[in-house]
Structure 1
Amino acid sequence: MTTSLPAAQGVPYFDWDNRYRDWTEQLLEVVQEVADSDEFILKSRAAALEEQVRELTGAGHAIAVASATGALTVVLTALGLGPGDEVVTPAFSFISTASTVALRGARPVFADVEYDTACLDPAAAETAVTDRTRALLPAYLFTNQPDLAALGGLAERRGLALVEDSAIALGSTAAGRPAGRHGIAGVFSFFPGKPSGGVGDAGMIVTDDAELAREMRMLRNHGQDLAVRFLHHKVGFNCRMDEITAGFLLRRLPHLDAYLTKRRQLAEEYRERLADLAPDLLTPPGDFTGRAVYSYVVRAQQRDRLREHLAAEGIETVVYYPKPLHLQPAFAELGHRAGEFPVAERLAEECVALPLHPEMRPGDLERVTESIRRFYRGGR
């Protein structure tokens, strides 16, 4: 089964041309500015972006990196995770929440997720904790947030590091605090599809721990001394943000709140138009106040037939995610079998993302919802 089906002159899922049309001139200006400045990687623009994110989140420190996956790698390395250690993480998520753990030589320990939110189930996470567990790594997903109050309490009781995969959630709040600020560190993504998206891969780490921040600044740049070039205190990574990306993001970030507001409005409109299709189709739960709406993922009966119907009408959809992490070939050595995490497996069969972004054309959302209604209710 493919994870995306093409749209034919209809409603595309990402719609890059429309989303970035008004930003072409600004991007060209940034490229020229960077070329004229002789600053290319991890220089003044990256530092300025760090300061903006630090102020936005209220964090003590912000560290610019090359991607959100790189951000997780740097955080877990700075925490000293390695062979013999375990990290509890959701069985249903993007692979980075588990692959970054495995690449440290530690063991990703999967726990099931909540059906309504697709986020890490605190009760399942607590059951998964052993005397080898060093950290909890929950992920924000789609329009949803993990139960950070419960997970934070678990981390405190068991002496664990709480690392937030808040990649989608810059500018949002969760449990009364800015996303990324509930544990030892949080990470954000600037991948173009994210609400805070730029023009390529880039990421940011936030933390209030000064020593951890110092360690992560070294690790992202080959473990070099922060004051003396070519003096390497750690075996680090090439995980540095480039200046073109940083310069473009400096121009985009002031618009983030407006983008988030529009995304919430579109998500609410989807809910209003589709809620009565339950139980055939279930919309994301709760209200979207303060949330970062990334992708609008519904849980659909006859999911694959619905997607074929929408594609035939020129509406593109994407499946996040067609296979849960415990059944991915990459983690076969962990020995998991089908049936171990039933909620994650059910979501992999039902979840489908509908087009949602601030630049959607007038009438696109109505076209999507009317097509879905025809599929389930014959247009009633």
Structure 2
Amino acid sequence: MAIEAWFMDETSGEDQRSPRHCNPKEFVSLDYLAELGVLYWRLNPANYESDEELKKIREDRGYNYMDLLDICPEKVADFKEKLKNFYTEHIHADEEIRYCLEGSAYFDVRDKDDRWIRIWIKVGDLIILPAGIYHRFTLDTGDYVKLMRLFVGEPVWTAYNRPQEDHPARKEYIKSMVTEKRDLKASGNKQTAKTDEGQRKRAQKRNMVAPEKDPREEVIQAWYMDDSDEDQRLPHHREPKEFVSLDQLAELGVLSWKLDADNHETDAELKKIREERGYSYVDLIEVCPEKLPNYEEKIKNFFEEHLHTDEEIRYCLGGSGYFDVRDHNDHWIRVWVKKGGMIVLPAGIYHRFTLDTDNYIKAMRLFVGDPVWTPFNRPHDHLPARKEYVQAFVNKDPSARAVDAAA
């Protein structure tokens, strides 16, 4: 599960340790954090002393000093005063590198428009805040975090409270942001400039390595839906748009792959997935007005909210369509699957399907054993499959999970 980040409700008078989400929630992607110079890795804290990936990061970036810090009321002298200092907006002249080994906490950073972004760091998350970025730190309501601190050379933690616009580190940080803005303006493709040229130039400038884009995002995208009753085949984005990451889908039990649809009959990766997950039966279906008997009735049934007692596995070989799933708060998430995208919806999840405005999809259906497609329209909370899903993915009991959500 990747790190989570979101824009904060800056008018909230809640405890600083609460999430302080906007309403509606506005999540922030890893790509957007990388545009601000914030870098991220997901590591294995269970063996951090011998972790080869951590060792490589330290060698590549010159982090030759390391120490550990427990932050909680019981273990930090003058706890309230120190937490107050941590939460005062400030910059550093050097990078701030933190690796979470236990517990969880928030790092808040300012974006280019001076809005606060809250970054929730949990066990296994390593982040780097660039020199010169305005930020602050606080515990969450768990009131405990154990962090590894990494430094280049001797450890220095000197906070320069805002305003510090004349500080060399701040000037250098602002300069890098202005350079990126100029790159975007000169580019004919703004989005490409953001994700490619802008990040590449910043990486060269600061010797940073930005997170690579997940190739699955080329064929699978997801977002929160609005409440409009317009044509079900429309995207139904909220305003402003709220995209959902593939890691967030995995938290709901929705697994995803990008495969070679043009060579599905001989694809070794598909063969491996089928063997590992026991998908012994395969058939193909084309959903469109011209090729599906009783099309209107069937598309109506597909769009009725329902669940299955087994996984629903669909691999898009042509065209595209929407699979809508419910999140933990019962909000609809629209998952757009295009050619090459394969998803698995776990047994017990409430969902539905519709074509998009292209009115065509060719999909491979996979099953464990003989094919069964029996929908149980909502409500069916009494079914064992639904109870197991709620326990595993809503109540968050990992031992109850029938599938590996980190595939």
Q: Greater relative contact order: 1 or 2 (C-alpha under 8 angstroms, separation 6 or more)? A: 1
User: Normalized against structure 2, the TM-score is what?
Assistant: 0.22
Higher helix share: 1
